Structure 1
Amino acid sequence: MHKNFWIVIVNYRTADLVVDCLQSLETQREVLGGGKVVVVDNDSGDGSVGRIAEAITAHGWSAWAEVVAAPRNGGFSYGNNVGIRLALSADPAAAWIMLLNPDTVVRSGALGALREFMATHPGVGIAGSLLENPDGSVDCSAHRIPSALGELEGSARFGPLSRLLREHRVSDAPGSEAHPCDWVSGAALVMRREVLVQAGLMDEGYFLYFEEVDFCCRAKEAGWEVWYVPEARVMHLEGASTGIRKAAKRRAHYWYDSRRRFFVRHHGVAGLILADLLWALGRLSFLARRALRLGGKPGADPKWFMVDLLWGDLRAIMSGRVFALRGQAVEFPFL
């Protein structure tokens, strides 16, 4: 049976970025086979649906692209699930589904490289692209699972400790060859249909952030491999759609909610507490070194980072809300 390639793009008030992304896909549309690009608008309320629909019609993209209006803004997982359900219900031959951020430009040959890799590596359930920054540098998009020791390494920012805990560092320097990893960035990843059948859809309990980490972990638990494929190059204007890299801003509460959800679901409540304790230890050592002028270069930290992270988790534990996160199931709706 012929196999089709689908792409899901979730939009929230970034219509111009979506059009640029679609433009980058136009010359690669043959890779889709009988698949399509589905743009899911998460109830933007700013005319995005009409603007994207007009662009699709004006550029003659209607044969391979469409925009769908979701009834509410349920977050990144929710929007992706809307598109995934549409692809799977509309096309029995939908073999691969790619999640693509609206703030991306897909380089020539990237879709073909991903499709070829998935076709020739049947044990791989999820593959992620190489992500370029606008200045041409390469960002890390292949990662290790977040852990308590990884939280210590990341918050301490201390060279000797980082070398000691290298195997627990979440994000290393980008590799130049394809290799397996724990999870890949949700900005540009492709999944196999069978992964969805076995591991379920994306967990809509994550509004934004950590959803792809959770999804990759569940795929691996189901026996699938996760790989990084640098031959598939995608430029990512990271933060253009979410503002995550604006250090001066106070980080949105849902980032902390998502981090908490991930640690509880994959490490338990005790794992969350241990991660917070080690994060705080590393953070305090970093601040002490800075105060004593013994190193500790400032990073792109949001305002009130330490307070929001630790106090938010403490409140969730004291209220009992954190214990409700442990057993929530993620169902696949087509079984």
Structure 2
Amino acid sequence: MNGPVNRISQPSVLVAIVNYRTAGLAIDCLDSLVEEMKAHPGARAVIVDNASGDNSCGRIASAIKKRGWDRWAKLVASPVNGGFAQGNNRAIATDRAAGGSPDYVWLLNPDTRVQPGSMQALLKFMDDHPRAGIAGTLLKDRDGQAWPYAFRFPSLLGEVERGARFGPVSRLLRNHAAVQEMGREPAPVDWVSGASMMIRAELLDSVGPMDESYFLYYEETDLCLQARRDGWECWYVPQACVMHIAGQSTGLTGKDAVVRRMPAYWFESRRYYFLKNHGRFYAMTADMLWIVSHLAWRLRRRILALTDHDPQGLLIDFVKHSALLKGESPAPGKPLGSR
């Protein structure tokens, strides 16, 4: 892997935003980018509407025109809702078809607000760390509460920790737990949230675009894994900060995120990730370890009369979509569990 040339003086940045029925939030996200765009003339945004069917396109297009954002913002109406990966790939392809050649692509969820100076913080970090192919930011909720976490790649022991939800087990397997609490300084990590993720364009040229077989969830995990295998680093950079009103596009927000049934595409994406990256035997083993650990948690919950905060039908849905019962991979470009 060759190191990139120094382009921090006038970097070309593409901000990619995928909207699905959250026009108001997407407009607010664009509004938060105004000052960033003024400070970085080489930056622009492409927002892809994933067939929302609720006049999102009209509202976003009107805001772009009326507020004078058309110098740097472009709306693309996708005829289908192909998911997060496909939407972002469409944004990148649209920019390149128009002659764009970005040095960096910054993925932002429509329910995010960029804090002032965050683009510069990311660009400076990437320029100072030529092996960094991906950088994630500090996230804050709408009340300003920091969410200082990054993630470890899914693993067999990680599935045990996730399923058991038992203090002694979590302490024993703390170095395998998926969620990793971070400090105040930049640090290398396995993967970061796709809600705010800056990607070096050279990485995309090397490992390819995001895998469109994922409809939603695990696609950024997969991208970070492919980057790792190709010799790139992924970093958590808390000097850049983005407010994230989590789950607005999926509908999994607040208390509903605990109570509501998890969508089929989450389980489909999880299974595909393990099958693609580790093979059928590993995927089946991961499923068995989670199921056994989860059953142990359910038994402990009953004995201790603990409150059940699991999503409805969690175990049944997990088994139904597991590699134990379904081992196929999707056809290229056809997302699993798409709607």
Determine if the TM-score, normalized by the shorter chain, exceeds 0.5: yes
Corresponding residue for 1:33?
41
The answer to whether the aligner puts 1:260 opposite 2:260 as a matched pair is: no
Of residues 195, 201, 204 in structure 1, which corresponds to 2:209? Answer: 201
Q: Does the 8 Å CA contact 2:149/2:181 hold for their aligned counterparts?
A: no
Q: Amino acid of the residue matched to residue 311 of structure 2?
A: P
Gaps of 5+ in 1: 331-335
Residues in 2 aligned to 1:316 and 1:141: alpha-carbon distance in whole angstroms: 33
The answer to whether the aligner puts 1:291 opposite 2:263 as a matched pair is: no
Q: How far is the alpha carbon of 1:60 from its aligned partner?
A: 1.1
What do residues 101-150 of structure 1 show as CA deviations (whole Å, max 9, x unaligned)? 00111111111111111122111000001111122222244110011110
Q: Does the 8 Å CA contact 2:271/2:323 hold for their aligned counterparts?
A: no
Higher mean C-alpha displacement, 2-11 vs 24-33:
24-33
Q: How far is the alpha carbon of 1:303 from its aligned partner?
A: 0.7
Q: Amino acid of the residue matched to residue 305 of structure 1?
A: L
Q: Does the 8 Å CA contact 1:6/1:32 hold for their aligned counterparts?
A: no
Gaps of 5+ in 2: 1-6, 335-339
Corresponding residue for 2:16?
8
SS of structure 1 residue aligned to 2:181: coil
Describe the shift of the 1:96–1:178 C-alpha distance in structure 2 as closer, same or farther (beyond 3 A): same
Of residues 257, 271, 294 in structure 1, which corresponds to 2:282? Answer: 271
Residues in 1 aligned to 2:40 and 2:307: alpha-carbon distance in whole angstroms: 46
Q: Amino acid of the residue matched to residue 270 of structure 1?
A: F
Residues in 2 aligned to 1:167 and 1:205: alpha-carbon distance in whole angstroms: 29
Corresponding residue for 1:134?
142
Higher mean C-alpha displacement, 308-317 vs 16-25:
308-317
Corresponding residue for 1:250?
261
SS of structure 1 residue aligned to 2:322: helix
Corresponding residue for 2:226?
218
Describe the shift of the 1:59–1:264 C-alpha distance in structure 2 as closer, same or farther (beyond 3 A): same
Q: How far is the alpha carbon of 1:297 from its aligned partner?
A: 5.9
Q: Does the 8 Å CA contact 2:211/2:219 hold for their aligned counterparts?
A: yes
The answer to whether the aligner puts 1:74 opposite 2:85 as a matched pair is: no
TM-score normalized with structure 1 length: 0.91
Corresponding residue for 2:312?
303
Residues in 1 aligned to 2:263 and 2:234: alpha-carbon distance in whole angstroms: 29
Corresponding residue for 2:4?
none
Residues in 2 aligned to 1:31 and 1:7: alpha-carbon distance in whole angstroms: 14
Structure with the higher fraction of residues in helix conformation: 1
Q: Does the 8 Å CA contact 1:139/1:174 hold for their aligned counterparts?
A: no
Q: Does the 8 Å CA contact 2:319/2:325 hold for their aligned counterparts?
A: no
The answer to whether the aligner puts 1:169 opposite 2:151 as a matched pair is: no
What do residues 9-56 of structure 1 show as CA deviations (whole Å, max 9, x unaligned)? 000111000011111111111344323111101111111111101001
Residues in 1 aligned to 2:113 and 2:316: alpha-carbon distance in whole angstroms: 36
Q: Amino acid of the residue matched to residue 309 of structure 1?
A: F
Q: Structure 1 residue runs of 4+, over 6 Å off?
A: 327-330
Let me know the Cα RMSD of the aligned residues. Answer: 2.0
Identity %: 45
SS of structure 1 residue aligned to 2:60: helix
